[in-house]
Chains A and B, each alone.
Chain A
């Protein structure tokens, strides 16, 4: 058989970023924002987007500095093998934690909304299995899937807005700028992880077909812009439908909205079936790059050619981690905490360190 080139096109990388970012957090985002900043949550989203952007630029720059190398080669050269392996383990832990969190919350939500008698473990296990099937393939297939599914991610937001629009009360958005600006860091801390997922760039960038800096920067502005617009639109939508007190009380305000609205035409009683279906696909496309990346990381650590065996090994691990917390309350308190700590390292500190150390080493090498 022909040796296939694993390449990602520039339009696929946009889709990959968008679908990696928008995922499990989107349903609970309005709740977190309202808790932190009341009606001014959108300011936090906007500021976070501005904060994320330099990190993305740094990631692009890392590969600009080291052309034709993947992240594993770059890391080993800048940090040395032992230290970088430690970094990889942190990435792995982060991915396992976030995958487990996704699988568990999916199980809980499906049980609450669709399958009332099926055990959660079975629901989650099947989902992990499905992601595993897709993750046993190279990055180009992941990018294709992301491109196929990303209209759904955007469609998910558009459908939500369209069905809710007739019953919206826009005066609810006002008054703006009422909240305490000292709450802003807290709000940003909450939204920062709604942007988690863009670190897929570290694993995907070496495979991009056209590596011109301008195009990559454009693609990332575009994708992070889309995510920001969707987040703000959904937050505003929640405000028009529910009171701030309601949003603060309900962990999944968006699902509440879908229960409230009736479709004209009287075909479906409530939309949560449709929305859940799309949402499953949306979080599938979020978990897939993470699962794939963790498989790749393990295959690099153990120096094997294919990562498929590690995808299978990871399956029970993710499943077990997902069921460490006993209840959904525990899940929603412990997991985000772990993910936050690991995420700060993974999303910001390690890429920045990689960039700075690389630069310093280069300067020394020159002089």
Chain B
């Protein structure tokens, strides 16, 4: 490997050809500029990654048109040909000179164009990225009734722009990294310097800098690499497709990590409180949000406990139920040949199959799967006497409940925990469920998200700042005058109420 470029343009071009051999999308355009000196120049780029019109017009075109360059002679000029090109010859706004091969190749492979000038030991990188990309559309995974409709795309520049448009603050920081030895993926760490906790930001940067991997294909991989506990089923990093959610998080003193080629932006720290919030919560009136939040938490409990409780009550503690209900239960399970735990396992496995089938196959077929699976199998299973109708209801409720939790990863984690609780309840009934719940709570209490307790604010951090006002219920915005305390923000105050009240009283 040669480290620096040479003065001989032909040697340089040959070197590029050697390194990128067998790449037919490598384009090299040689031309000569100047009526007097006829300096050899070359434009090198990868076809498809750049905007061709731009290069033709504002690089090659401008070099050929510009009078200064045309009539350039070494006599009478205080500068070199390279400086003349740099200062007068190019119409494009984004140029940079570079003498080392590594950054040059990296720039070219990310969609910039290289301009070589004969006799110079530096080349010019012209910003010309113009690759095909999806336009900004509505987020697929997080839809809202009221609220902005733009969502992130796969291009990092679009994504950072979408966020920046919402924060016109001089202290918004966009720190770029390139991660992955081979993939050289762009990663942007975004935060508001005046608000975000310094240690948190440092920690995020440190963890990203520590990564040494060949490729970051998607933000999920980065997420796994920077998580505090990668063995846990619970996600310790939040992700979203919505720029408004990211902006709101940045204003709370959190840090966003934008990864190129991924429409999902990561937000840290995540807690059990934030994972139950949806973007919709910012746009709906507080009383409705409060009711929905309570419903979501109820959904969480149902998802986790309804199945195991069914097993525990039928198999171990029919006496805890009212006598009539207990007889009804026994009657409905009269024909079922399996113990409750096997019955539950059968239905849960069927449900998981249907879920996976429905997700992988898209479009009209997935509806068929829903009907065949949900209606026909359920009905037939009851009629055949393999499962009791109550079990079908329990499984259906559980499945619906998984969808009310805003974060998919979070609800998936509880789905996994549910299977463990099934086992516990199958062996030890209600006692087993209690033990299971205690174990889950202990695990959650042990978890940290970038040093912040995962169970905040239920475990104490942020309670004094009033974080509990925006967790299980949401109070009106006027009452949320402090930023959430769990992020330990540098600037705690979000709103000054005295001024607000003054203005309002004036009107009256």
Contacts and interface: CB of A to CB of B under 8 A. Distances in A.
Interface of A: 1-2, 4, 9, 11-12, 15, 110, 114-115, 118, 123, 126-127, 130, 133-134, 137, 140-141, 143-145, 147-149, 266-270, 272-273, 276-277, 280-281, 284
Residue of B433, B435, B450 contacting most chain A CB atoms (<10 Å): B435
Contact of A144 (B322, B451, B460): B460
B430 A133 contact: no
A300 to B, nearest CB: 22
Given A1-B228, A148-B455, A267-B322, A15 B435 contact: no
Interface string B312-323: 000011011111
Contacts of B438: 130, 134, 280-281, 284
Interface of A is mostly: helix
B464 A11 contact: yes
Nearest to B462: A9
Contacts of B453: 140, 144
13 contacts: A2-B451, A9-B460, A9-B461, A9-B464, A11-B463, A110-B431, A115-B429, A133-B439, A145-B445, A268-B320, A269-B321, A270-B320, A281-B434
B429 A130 contact: no
B209 interface: no
A11 B431 contact: no
Contacts of A268: 320-322
A83 to B, nearest CB: 36
Contacts of A137: 442, 445-446
A130 B435 contact: yes
Given A11-B460, A148-B459, A277-B434, 9 more contacts: A9-B460, A15-B460, A114-B431, A141-B445, A144-B459, A147-B459, A276-B430, A280-B438, A281-B438
B477 interface: no
Interface in B444-483: 445-446, 448, 450-451, 453, 455, 458-461, 463-464
Contacts of A1: 228
A123 B461 contact: no
Contacts, number: 97
B447 to A, nearest CB: 9
Interface string B404-445: 000000000000000000000000111101110111011001
The 7 closest A-B pairs by CB, nearest first: A144-B459, A134-B442, A273-B320, A147-B460, A12-B460, A144-B445, A145-B445
Given A130-B435, A267-B322, A118 B459 contact: no
B83 interface: no
A148 B447 CA distance: 14
Contact of B455 (A110, A144, A277, A284): A144
A149 B444 CA distance: 13
Nearest to B458: A148
B169 interface: no
Given A114-B431, A273-B430, A133 B319 contact: no
Contact of B320 (A15, A144, A269): A269
Contacts of A149: 441
B203 interface: yes
A141 B431 CA distance: 24
B460 A114 contact: no
B430 A114 contact: yes
Nearest to A288: B442
A148 B316 contact: no
A148 B429 contact: no
B431 A115 contact: yes
Given A144-B459, A144-B460, A130 B428 contact: no
